[in-house]
Structure 1
Amino acid sequence: MSPVKVILLACGSFNPPTNMHLRMFEIARDHLHRLGSHVVIGGLISPVHDGYGKKDLEAATHRLAMVRLALQNSDWIKLSDWECKQETWNRTKQVLQYHQNHVNAILHSSRNSHFDKLNEDDVHWVPDNVRNGCEDSVQIKLLCGADLLESFGTPGLWSDDDIEAIVGQHGLVVITRSNTNPLEFIYNSDMLTKYMSNITIVTEWIRNEVSSTKIRRALRRSESVKYLLPDKVLDYIHKHHLYGSKSMHL
């Protein structure tokens, strides 16, 4: 059986995007390729809509600009701004479905020579090999940290329908720490156990505790965050005085 072609999609605030956000994609791709069951043909970052209402969430225009800067050195991860451009916040299930539907439409159109009819603004995030006429099906999988997996157990946060759609129809690639046990969490959930074949657990052995929350705190305190996020993102933050930053640390 030939490996399944996969596009990894990460949802979140990216407030700001850090080096760890980018490392997640590299770690996941390496692991899936080692398994031999999947071939990662692209990666997507989809920042959340302003309507999500999270505390300290910078405007989408700034977060999109920072992600674009962060991805300048990546040859396979792209930015999708669809989520930010909607009139309101969309659930993760809807974000996955939108991107999967567009990939399916492009594959169908390219096979039938109708690709030119698709709006470029809607497909700029699609990997080139899909746009150029990939013959196989392509699956969008949600790339996330173990905290998102465990949030499925928080009462009232996720509906069963959403979890079933995310895990059952798309699948998860979960980046976890060496001292955590996501398999136990999956075991304790009937829903996750039902679809555990669609969940890939990837252990990050090189510990990295970088988080956007800690970076925002350091910026408020005028502490250096150099080497924790791309230099161009840091320059942007200081230029626009985001997160309470007051001075340049170079």
Structure 2
Amino acid sequence: MLDSFECLQKEYTPTAQVLDHADYELNVVRGGFMTKEGNRKHVRICLLAGADLLETMTTPGVWSPQDLDHILGRYGSMIVERAGSDVQNALSSLTQWKDNIFVIPYLTPPAVVEYISRNRLYRDDSNTAAASSSTHGKEKEGSGKTDAAVSPS
């Protein structure tokens, strides 16, 4: 569903309110979704977010306990892992909602992730970062690899 609700607001709209709106529009106004058999079925709403957003949920003062309970308790979340994020540490602080938080390890097939790791295609060290700025997008002579300064976790 494409909905302009949030972008039409004059001020910041809390995430919980945006999820409530999506739930109302899809399940009350539209009656859920139509199955192939012609029946209406309830749509499960959840927050799709990067691991960095999940980490902010464990930072004191960023999210109110009421909003966390509303978002993670009522709707849940699908978390996409990102390089440099510590998902497991964040999850350890959000155990109350662990059954409603689903982590998507990578949007890259496991064989590709293993190849990247095995061949050290992405490294997080200052020498690589400096080298990649001068050779960005160019193959290293004879290696068939390119430099990048980001490391998959």
TM-score interval, smaller chain: 0.5 to 0.7
Distance in 1 between the 2:3 and 2:21 partners? 11
Corresponding position of 1:27: none
Counterpart secondary structure, 2:6: helix
- Residue aligned with 2:53, SS: helix
Larger Rg: 2
SS across alignment from 1:177 = coil
Taking a change above 3 Å as real, the CA distance of residues 148 and 97 of structure 1, as seen in their structure-2 partners, is same
Q: 1:96 to 1:205 in 2, by over 3 A?
A: closer
- Tell me the residue number matched to 2:19: 96
Amino acid at match of 2:19: L
| Number of the residue aligned with 2:119 | none
Q: TM-score, normalised by structure 1?
A: 0.39
Aligned-residue offset at 1:178: 6.6
Runs of 5+ in structure 1 lacking a partner? 1-77, 111-126, 208-250
Q: Secondary structure at the match of 2:18?
A: helix
Q: Which amino acid aligns with 2:97?
A: Y
Give the whole-Å Cα distance in 1 for the aligned partners of 2:29 and 2:107.
37
Cα distance change, pair 107–147 in 1 and its aligned pair in 2 (3 A): same
1:84 is aligned to 7
Hey, what does 2:99 align to over in structure 1? 197
Q: Return the structure number with greater relative CO, CA threshold 8 A, min gap 6.
A: 1
Q: Is the 8 A contact 2:52 2:85 kept in 1?
A: no
Task: Please list the CA deviations of residues 156-181 of structure 1 after superposition, one character each: whole Å capped at 9, or x if unmatched.
Answer: 11100001111000010000037754
Q: Which protein has the bigger strand share? A: 1
- Cα distance change, pair 87–196 in 1 and its aligned pair in 2 (3 A): same
**Percent identity among equivalent residues?**
33
Structure 2, gaps ≥5 residues long: 114-153
Q: Specify which of 144, 147, 164 is matched with residue 52 of structure 2.
A: 147
TM-score normalised over the length of structure 2: 0.61
**What is the one-letter code of the residue matched to 2:25?**
H
Of Structure 1 and Structure 2, the greater helix share is in: 1
Aligned to 1:138: 43
Cα RMSD after superposing both structures: 2.6
1:171 is the counterpart of 2:76 = yes
Following TM superposition, by how much is the alpha carbon of 1:185 offset from its aligned partner in structure 2, in angstroms?
1.7
Q: Secondary structure at the match of 1:89?
A: coil
1:97, CA displacement in angstroms?
Answer: 0.6
1:18-57 equivalences in 2 (<5 Å): none
Bigger Cα displacement from structure 2, 157-166 vs 174-183: 174-183
**Do the aligned partners of 2:50 and 2:82 also contact (CA within 8 Å) in 1?**
no
